[in-house]
Structure 1
Amino acid sequence: MDTAIEDAGSYDFIIVGAGSAGCVLANRLTASGRHRVLLIEAGGEDRHIWIHIPLGYGKLFRDPRVNWMYETEPEPELGGRRVFQPRGKVLGGSSSINGLVYIRGQREDFDLWRDLGCTGWGFEDVLPYFIRSEDQQRGADRYHGVGGPLAVSDPVAPHPLCDAFIAAGQERGLPFNPDFNGESQEGVGYFQTTSRNGRRCSTAVGYLKPARKRPNLTVLTGAMATRVVFSGKVATGVEFLHQGRVKRARAGREVLLSGGAINSPQLLELSGVGDAARLTALGVPVVADAPRVGENLQDHFQVRMVFRCKKRITINDAYHNLFRRAGMGLDYALRRRGPLTVSAGYGTAFFRSNDHVATPDVEVHFITFSTNKMGEALHPFPGFTASVCQLRPESRGDIHIKSRDPLAPPAIRVNYLSTEVDRQTNVDGLKKLRHIMQAPAMSDFMETEIEPGLAIASDADLLAYCRRVGSTIYHPSGTCTMGTGEDAAVTPDLKVRGVERVRVVDASIMPRLISGNCNAAIVMIGEKAADMILADAR
């Protein structure tokens, strides 16, 4: 070993990334006590107060202490705008800074994975892992479990604005849906969240905290992985920066990449696993020619509508009034109730943008505050927001390194709105959402539509609005695609093609983006991967 590189020890498994899936792996792989596991995380401990207060996600949106602060390359269909891409850089990863929404996706999403050749990933195959992960407030049933590490809860309290929105959706023909993770996703209702008693339940809280008591788990924070070490095509360990020094840990069994859809393909390319021509041009020694690494990037695009409320019942009003803001804090401190318990989605609707799609292809996030951009100051007027999110975009992009420097961010190209289906779905989604907001049930609350405003009515004008203000809803995936053919970067058991003893376990393995918020599915991926890894380790 190079004398400039410190020996960081030998382990059975090394997990890179303590995020939504990495914390799951750390828990499950150490449970028997038979395997020594090293978990390395580039970020720090999850001690920031706003991590654990649900509404605090807005405070973390642009905080580099817990956030990678990525942004895309100029997006061609968005007038050359760069789109901010927040990702968690802390124990728990994005599960520590996300909006807490608990949505699994649709049955058809996972059956499509299976039909694409990913045997063992159909809905009935993955449902037991969703159930195993869950501690459902409502109790166990055909679709839900209790006693798992991940707390799933109803809102602490309903809100009159949300009740009105739900009633408006029903007036427009949507069924009331009490459980979007049950038999059907279509309808209108309240989100459930990954929280309990008014506090966030990240995977660091639910999975990692109890596992850290085990002597066979070592957790290093502030440890930035720089490359996977190979002997030929066999992974033997990981090099990382830690406390100002380069260190190398050895893996007796496997290296498990759980850095997410941005960091996992980045690390593979830095390690010599990627498109050979691209790597050679950057001076990276090629270990395996794997042209699909970093390809197939998918993300959910969202377009917000902002409304002025007739009544001063929004979070905007509480925040801008000194006495009400103090009361909001006191209510949370004493009872774990009030606006500080609100997630990034309060009420929701899942609907079909047209009669030709078989299942809902649009998701609405309804929240009782408004702002120009997430993470910025709330509007001074009583405002609330409803956004449309296309659930199954056709647009595809890529993520690739720009240099050999592991500290340099990769180039992220999502290519939002690059197909006609994506453009029309967003326009149709806005029109349907506007129709809901104009239903009689909203009349006591909705004073006017601020953005885009009723003057923006034609398809062309609505599309221009999408291009001008639309953004990510923070679900990058697919960049180490799972499959059986040459168009896949990993196999259905998540092993990286072309090399040995390396798996990817995170959102990047999704062959198709799921129909909804991704955190629950990433936890499921971690649960299922742990079983596959342990089966091979017998």
Structure 2
Amino acid sequence: MSTPSSSSPFDYIVVGGGAAGCVLAARLSQDPACRVLLLEAGPELDPAAVRTPGTALQLLGTDAVYRDRTVAQDGAGGRVIDLPSGRGLGGGSSVNTLTWFQGHPQDYDGWRAAGAEGWGWEDVLPYLRRAEHHILGDGPFHGAGGPMTVDFARDLNPSSIAFVQAGEQLGAPVSQDLNGAERTGFGVTQSNIRNGVRHSVVDGYLRPARTRPNLVVRTGTPATRILFDGRTATGVETAGSGPATARRGVILSAGALRTPQLLMLSGIGPAAHLAEHGIPVLADLPGVGSNLHDHPMITPVWPITSGPTLLDAFDDHAQTAYRLIHRGPQASAAAQTLAMLPLRDGDAPDLQIYCSLLGVEPGLIPMDRPAVTALTVLLTPASRGSVRLRSADPHQPPLVDPAYLTDDRDRTALRHGLDLVRALFQTPALKAVTGPALHPSPDADQTELDTFITQSLTSIWHPVGTCRMGPGPDTVVTPQLNVHNLHHLYIADTSVIPTIPRANTHAPTIMIAEKAADLITTQTHPHAQ
């Protein structure tokens, strides 16, 4: 089979080979008459380096991730916060901690109520189900036969089980399926793991699609500028490889930090900010780079006095078990159990609490002693920040300011979360396997607890919202994912999210890309459906 030249015109150029980009490339190239180019700035990752679930945290700091950092955060005592994200084919799905959460129906109904028509729960659920090959099989909330394997954590650690038992002892519900009918309570983590091996979008979507002659994938090829004829996107300028052209559309899927950066480098964004960097304004869209928000997290720690932890995941027994039969601690996500808990009346969670069997000092610095960290995540942050250009140089990372805890409601919510977690570790189930708290101290007063929140505040790496969809003047794309006032330019990644879901953002990202493929095909080739 002949492969189209990467210098000849394509129908679509997809910028960014992360989760969304791989999904889009796979779906759009299902039409053999549609020629697709997928551009990825990072490398093609070595499967042997990324496929062991238990080694996910070891990928941080490697060439497989962007090492972005925020500007100094007042809510974190003036510290900068690391915001790593996937760099390479598969993006976050190749380096993340593999957790699969769909989000809550109220999340998506809220999008629709805010003007994102067609993005309510009943609209997005078919795309979530289409993506799944769930261990529970086909059902009202899950799909079977889809590209992404979803399974429950196996070989549960005794301390992970104690965490769920502690929730029961506090009177909280236990859910058999936190992606099902009961989306609050304590339960077992669901992950993209197939037979003990990471199952990324490269495995589920891209690798099967790469056999098609109408799909070209270029790695190590950063996009530096979108090309236009008037107000119509015609292609992309790349570093080192020159321009690539597209007949039907350019689709940005570079994520919540780099998609707005590429728009601004191309003259699309807040006019005054572009003028500061000497960039001619093509479209004055003040919403580009605004509405940045993320799930903030604090990290209280208790010592484990009985049973194994992740420190044991790399001993000879664990490594042999994984090598022989892909079982044991290396075959599971870092946190096997967790809780999704409301802070107010209602059935939608505000907090996500992971039982991570690895102790961390503030700043996510691993401890060398057996410990458990109750990763306490605020799912419904009110604070909003921004992404701005550092310079007009496309090789410079953007300026990222999530403005953590600038809305006092977020600090108040984390206070309640910390109180809840401390009560959890006073239950008989957890006191049987843990000792007195390491951080914060068991006898800390409210002032010391507030200091702990400030000192341990970090991110679980879910930035969203910087090109949000909707009809208002501060939005960037329509609900059909067209960039306002421009033609043949689309965005399909976490940047279009209006309000962050109560979920790890991987599954929502795939859903957005699945729906985007249908929306874009319908607009640019209506007879293809």
User: What interval of TM-score do these two structures reach, taking the shorter chain for normalisation?
Assistant: over 0.9
Question: Does the Cα contact within 8 Å between 2:307 and 2:433 map onto a contact in 1?
Answer: no
Take 2:496 and 2:6, find their aligned partners in 1: how far apart are those partners? 31
Take 1:283 and 1:335, find their aligned partners in 2: how far apart are those partners? 58
Q: Find the partner of 1:327 among 317, 322, 325.
A: 317
Correspondence list, 1:268-283, <5 A = 268-283=263-278
Match of 1:342 in 2: 332
Match of 1:424 in 2: 412
Give 1:424 shift: 0.4
TM-score by length of 2: 0.96
Give the letter for the 1:444 counterpart: A
Correspondence list, 1:226-305, <5 A = 226-241=224-239, 245-305=240-300
Take 2:161 and 2:515, find their aligned partners in 1: how far apart are those partners? 37
Q: 1:171-229, CA deviations, whole angstroms, 9 ceiling, x for partnerless residues?
A: 11111101111123111011100111111111111110100000000000000000000
Q: Which moved more, 1:273-282 or 1:119-128?
A: 273-282
Q: 1:95 to 1:374 in 2, by over 3 A?
A: farther
Q: 1:103-161, CA deviations, whole angstroms, 9 ceiling, x for partnerless residues?
A: 11110000000101111100011000000000001211111011100010111222211
Take 2:317 and 2:168, find their aligned partners in 1: how far apart are those partners? 34
Q: 1:498 to 1:282 in 2, by over 3 A?
A: same
Take 1:344 and 1:230, find their aligned partners in 2: how far apart are those partners? 45
Match of 2:348 in 1: 359
For the pair 1:311 / 2:306, whether they are aligned, the reply is yes
Question: Does the Cα contact within 8 Å between 2:291 and 2:386 map onto a contact in 1?
Answer: yes
Give 1:438 shift: 1.0
Give 1:358 shift: 5.5
3-state DSSP class of the match of 1:170? helix
For the pair 1:456 / 2:456, whether they are aligned, the reply is no
Take 2:143 and 2:87, find their aligned partners in 1: how far apart are those partners? 29
For the pair 1:15 / 2:4, whether they are aligned, the reply is no
Q: 1:119 to 1:473 in 2, by over 3 A?
A: same
Take 2:156 and 2:206, find their aligned partners in 1: how far apart are those partners? 31
Take 2:458 and 2:494, find their aligned partners in 1: how far apart are those partners? 19
Question: Does the Cα contact within 8 Å between 1:150 and 1:202 map onto a contact in 2?
Answer: yes
Question: Does the Cα contact within 8 Å between 1:27 and 1:211 map onto a contact in 2?
Answer: yes
Percent of aligned pairs with the same residue?
38
Q: 1:212 to 1:375 in 2, by over 3 A?
A: farther
Give 1:370 shift: 1.8
Take 1:344 and 1:467, find their aligned partners in 2: how far apart are those partners? 25
Take 2:204 and 2:45, find their aligned partners in 1: how far apart are those partners? 12
Give the letter for the 1:383 counterpart: A
- Cα RMSD, aligned residues only: 1.5
Q: Find the partner of 1:486 among 458, 461, 473.
A: 473
3-state DSSP class of the match of 2:7? strand
Question: Does the Cα contact within 8 Å between 1:18 and 1:258 map onto a contact in 2?
Answer: yes
Q: 1:103 to 1:484 in 2, by over 3 A?
A: same
Correspondence list, 1:132-281, <5 A = 132-241=130-239, 245-281=240-276
TM-score by length of 1: 0.94
Match of 1:56 in 2: 55
3-state DSSP class of the match of 1:87? strand
3-state DSSP class of the match of 2:300? strand
Question: Does the Cα contact within 8 Å between 1:162 and 1:347 map onto a contact in 2?
Answer: yes
Q: Find the partner of 1:403 among 383, 391, 395.
A: 391
3-state DSSP class of the match of 2:191? coil
3-state DSSP class of the match of 1:448? coil
Q: 1:308 to 1:221 in 2, by over 3 A?
A: same
Give 1:356 shift: 4.8
Give 1:373 shift: 6.2
Aligned residues between the structures: 521
Give 1:9 shift: 2.1
Give the letter for the 1:258 counterpart: S
Question: Does the Cα contact within 8 Å between 1:59 and 1:375 map onto a contact in 2?
Answer: no
Q: Which moved more, 1:148-157 or 1:221-230?
A: 148-157
* Structure 1: gaps spanning 5 or more residues: 1-5, 320-324
Correspondence list, 1:59-98, <5 A = 59-63=58-62, 65-98=63-96
Correspondence list, 1:106-117, <5 A = 106-117=104-115
Q: 1:62-108, CA deviations, whole angstroms, 9 ceiling, x for partnerless residues?
A: 11x11110000111221211000101111001111111000111100
Give the letter for the 1:219 counterpart: V
Question: Does the Cα contact within 8 Å between 1:309 and 1:448 map onto a contact in 2?
Answer: no
Give 1:36 shift: 0.0
Take 1:50 and 1:285, find their aligned partners in 2: how far apart are those partners? 43
3-state DSSP class of the match of 1:297? coil
Question: Does the Cα contact within 8 Å between 1:289 and 1:498 map onto a contact in 2?
Answer: no
Take 2:6 and 2:165, find their aligned partners in 1: how far apart are those partners? 62
Give the letter for the 1:99 counterpart: T
Match of 1:3 in 2: none
Give the letter for the 1:531 counterpart: D
Q: 1:374 to 1:46 in 2, by over 3 A?
A: farther
* Structure 2: gaps spanning 5 or more residues: none
Give the letter for the 1:426 counterpart: L
Question: Does the Cα contact within 8 Å between 1:58 and 1:374 map onto a contact in 2?
Answer: no
Give 1:274 shift: 0.5
Question: Does the Cα contact within 8 Å between 1:269 and 1:279 map onto a contact in 2?
Answer: yes
Take 1:116 and 1:315, find their aligned partners in 2: how far apart are those partners? 43
Question: Does the Cα contact within 8 Å between 1:74 and 1:82 map onto a contact in 2?
Answer: yes
Question: Does the Cα contact within 8 Å between 2:362 and 2:455 map onto a contact in 1?
Answer: no
Question: Does the Cα contact within 8 Å between 2:250 and 2:489 map onto a contact in 1?
Answer: yes
Question: Does the Cα contact within 8 Å between 1:298 and 1:476 map onto a contact in 2?
Answer: yes
Take 1:374 and 1:202, find their aligned partners in 2: how far apart are those partners? 27
Take 2:135 and 2:348, find their aligned partners in 1: how far apart are those partners? 27
Give 1:518 shift: 0.6
For the pair 1:522 / 2:509, whether they are aligned, the reply is yes
Match of 2:357 in 1: 368
Match of 1:439 in 2: 427
